Amino acid sequence: MMKNAPSEFRAIAVALLLATGTVGLPAWALQPGEQAPGFELPGRNGTVTFALAAHPDKVIYVDFWASWCGPCRQSFPWMNAMQQKFGSAGLEVVGINLDAEAKDADAFLAQVPANFTVAFDPGGDSARRFGVKGMPTSFLIGRNGMVIHAHTGFNEDGREQLEQMIAAAVEATP
């Protein structure tokens, strides 16, 4: 039903899900058990490129975010902590910014630093391939390239469950 709904209706539905704190993933987005689409994106200052395929030995936590996203301000410190805690065990946190203007992302990052990989996709191509419809939307991708978990939004209640999923993913035999 939602898949064929006008984009305005889908945006309102996602906003309602986020406003109520519901952590889940809309049916039109990439689902657990599906192969994550490849992407190659520029990093800060356009000099560093992140390619998903270049990290087959890593568990990747991909987080799509934008400077105007309130819950993103809450998720960044948590993602910093996850990168620090599980990075040596094989986790790579990648925040993909979808702002059209780099200056907006830079202003956000000046206030809320990221101690993890940040890539930029102002055209939103990677977000379309993942089926992102709300901010933030995150995907936990196993070493085999398959989506383990996906969710839209970020709140206190979901942190422990997400950390447990990350721990299990990095502990799994590659």
pTM above 0.85, yes or no: no
pLDDT at 45 over 90: no
Element (H, E) at 163: helix 156-171
Share of the chain above pLDDT 70, in %: 82
Measured CA to CA, the distance from residue 66 to residue 73 in angstroms comes to 10
Q: Which CATH superfamily is domain 2-171 in?
A: Glutaredoxin (3.40.30.10)
Residues in a beta bridge with 161? none
Q: Name the DSSP letter for residue 48.
A: -
Tell me the pLDDT tens digit for each residue of 5-34: 443 444 444 443 444 343 444 455 778 899
Burial class (CB in 10 A: 0-12, 13-18, 19+), 62: buried
